[in-house]
Amino acid sequence: MRKFIAIILFSFVAAFAGSEAVGKTMAVGVWAQAGNADEHVGLDFELRRSELVTLDIYLHFYFSSGDNSAGGYVGYYWNYYLTGVPENLGRMGFYGGPAGGVGWWDETFFNDLDYGGIALRFGLVGGYQWEFPVLPLQLYLELNPVGEFYFMWWDDDFEDHDDHETDWEIPDFYFRIGLRVWF
């Protein structure tokens, strides 16, 4: 039933959004990611500041029994669209720029050890985008090499164990695929 409602909602939005992404200023979408066990999927909001500059806001969330995470990230991207691509194939191009944000996670292991933390992330994003020729959709693939600063904590009962730790991880790589609808 959820899939049916999602298809109806997507069809309704696509019907009223117009026929192409060119000239539209806002997009919302979904993404899936590899590279981080706590960030599988999320939402995406993109705002065109000009024809060649976009501001992108990523949100991720995952809540299940004993494994929870949430985060928000902002990217500022410069777009380069390929010339010479036939118009009937849509608009294709590359983008890149800085990105940063904050994430939180909390996990339970073996019912006696809670592990969690906050991560501050900064890095560069580079990707490929394809704006469909007829529908106001955009498919994107991106690689996100980042540096992350972690503040972690453990809630355990082991004696002589420090329950807090900070750590750097540079670089870390994420691969993301997403789909946006432009308005």
Query: Do residues 49 and 74 touch, judged by C-beta distance below 8 A?
Result: no
Structure tokens at 78: 């410069």
pLDDT digit string (tens) for 59-98? 988 877 667 888 999 999 999 999 988 888 888 999 999 9
The 10 Å Cβ neighbour count of residue 123 is: 20
- pTM for this one? 0.77
What gap in Å lies between CA 156 and CA 165, rounded to an integer? 14
